[in-house]
Structures are given as structure tokens and as C-alpha cells.
Structure 1
Amino acid sequence: MAIKQADEGVRAVSDRFYNALTQMANGDATPMMELWPHRDDVTTMHPIGGREVGWDEVRGPWQAVADMAEGGEVKPTDQHFRVFGDVAIELVTEDVSMSLGGESVEGMYRATNIYHRENGEWHIVHHHTDIDMEFIDILQRLGDDE
């Protein structure tokens, strides 16, 4: 199968995903919730650890982080796309800064996103980033304060 560069649809859904991540880093998970297909085959592996399978699990960490986040930005850099029929893969570095419960979180994370084209439209179906122990420690401290 020939590998071709990503078409405009893949780049557009990636742009929407990173806009939604920035909104989440500012306390609003709504764009993220609207972006993902609400199906059993979506998956995530966040910098906070774990693996979520299915929409019921995937949505939880997005909402939990949004509930504590403010003043954030997530910028994709060094994006590399490949399309294989109805599946596209994005390798990217995420430049992240936000405040979680008043504690600063900053980092550069390697990430992989997988998109699927269904009925002519691209959708994100998987997001995976490097694990970050500092991020995990902050969330644990915030959880201990409750």
C-alpha cells in the first residue's frame, strides 16, 4: 500500500483536536467531548498514566483535568502525518503549559494520534503521550487536598 501525505481533512481534525486541548487546559472540556466519537473502540494513554478504552473511560480524564485547569495552552510542533486508506497517524510533539489547582505544569510530550475516516469525515480515535511523573504527582497532591 502506498503511503501518501495527509489530506486537508486529517490536518483539519488535528487542528480541532489541539484547539480542544487548549480549551481543556483553560477549564472547558466541551470541545473535546464533542470532537471524539462516543464509541467503544476509542482509546487514550495520557501523561497521567493509565489506559482508557471506550468512550465512557476516555472522557473521564479529559473532564477531570479541565475541572482543575486554567491559563493553559497546548501547541503541536514537529507534526508528521501519514495516511493509509481510511486510517491516518500523526506523530507530534506537544508543548504544554497550564495551571492545575494553582500548580504550574509545563512540558514537551511526544504524542501519537490515530484518526479514522468514516463516511468521508476524519475522527480522532486514539491519543497517546509520554508519561509525566511530575504531572501525576501534582494530581495526587491535589487529590489528597480534597
Structure 2
Amino acid sequence: MQPIAEPITGLEERSRDSSPVSALVEFYAAFNTRSLDLVAQNWARTDEIAMDNPLGGIKRGWEEIRGVYERIFRGPAEVYVEFCDYTIHEAAGMFYVVGRERGYFRLRDTRLELAIRTSRIFRRMDGRWRQVHHHGSIDDPGLLKRYQSAVLEAS
């Protein structure tokens, strides 16, 4: 399976179809415009959902996950990511994607170029795709340390 190189930025025309790509476009549009309401629509509202990221360890349930997005969206830093070099894997009632996020974190004079290995899992719920899991990892230990320090400074 060849990875798809064309990035998903959230700026793509939003279609009304129920494709996996549409669910991803919806998420990145929400994230890159700092819309907590749209992010909330993208995620399932169950206690079973989970997010693993380079900053916050494992968050479970919407209340914990929402807190991560609130800190990002309401904080002073600008964060932008797009999803690239990804594959989509579909099965009955679910799909998952494996790829990379690239983008940046900017706070005052600090700008970090982000490179994050990313996977997301979606389930078909109430007639639409809902995100149930996200995992992100930064490979480069130096970048991870700089990113964690910069985010702590922003808090």
C-alpha cells in the first residue's frame, strides 16, 4: 500500500459525503481554526475514547481529551499541523489512518517545526464517523524536549 502524499490541511473543500477523508478534513479544519465545538463533533462521546500525545500522556474520555484541546486553543502559542504520508485502512464500521503530522509551534520568538508520527481510529456512530483514538509520537528526542519545554513555558 502506497502512502498518500497529498496533505490534509483542513482547508480542503468540505464535502457532505461520509468518507474517511471527509472525517479527517473535518478534524484538521477544527484543529487548525481552534474550534473546540468542531473538534467535539469529530470525537465520540464515550468513556472508551483515548488520546496519547507527546505532552499529556494518556487521556481517557471526552472530558480529559477536551481539556487538552482547551489548553492548546486558549493558550498563547500558535500550533498548526497537517496530515501527510498516510494510509487509510477500512473495516466493518471503522477505519484507521497511519501517517505523519507536520507543522509548527510558535510562541513569541520560538518556532519549532513539528514532525509527529500519528494514528487515528474512527468508528461509525449515529450515521457518521467519530474519532475514538489518537496517538502521536515525536521521534526526535531533541525536538520532543524542546517542544515539551516550549509548551510548559506557554502554560
The reply to whether TM is greater than 0.5 is: yes
1:83 is matched with which residue? Answer: 90
> Distance between the aligned counterparts of 2:22 and 2:76, measured in 1?
25
The one of the two structures with greater contact order (alpha-carbon pairs below 8 A, sep at least 6) is 1
Q: Is the CA contact 2:42–2:129 (under 8 Å) kept in the aligned structure 1?
A: no
**Partner secondary structure for residue 40 of structure 1:** coil
Q: Is the CA contact 2:121–2:132 (under 8 Å) kept in the aligned structure 1?
A: yes
Aligned counterpart in structure 1 of residue 149 of structure 2, from 130, 137, 140: 137
Aligned counterpart in structure 2 of residue 16 of structure 1, from 23, 26, 29: 26
4+ residue runs over 6 A deviation? none
Unaligned runs of 5+ in 1: 1-6
AA matched with 2:145: M
Q: Is the CA contact 2:47–2:60 (under 8 Å) kept in the aligned structure 1?
A: yes
Which whole-Å deviations, capped at 9, do the CAs of 1:102-141 have from their partners, x for residues lacking one? 6323211110000001243111111110043222111222
Unaligned runs of 5+ in 2: 1-16, 139-143
Matches within 5 A, 1:57-72: 57-69=64-76, 71-72=78-79
Q: TM-score, normalised by structure 2?
A: 0.76
Note the C-alpha offset of 1:47: 2.2
2:41 is matched with which residue? Answer: 34
Q: Percent identity?
A: 22
**Partner secondary structure for residue 116 of structure 1:** strand
AA matched with 2:37: T
Instruction: Give the number of equivalent residue pairs.
Output: 134
> Distance between the aligned counterparts of 1:8 and 1:34, measured in 2?
14
2:60 counterpart of 1:50: no
Q: Is the CA contact 1:9–1:121 (under 8 Å) kept in the aligned structure 2?
A: no
Q: Is the CA contact 1:71–1:99 (under 8 Å) kept in the aligned structure 2?
A: yes
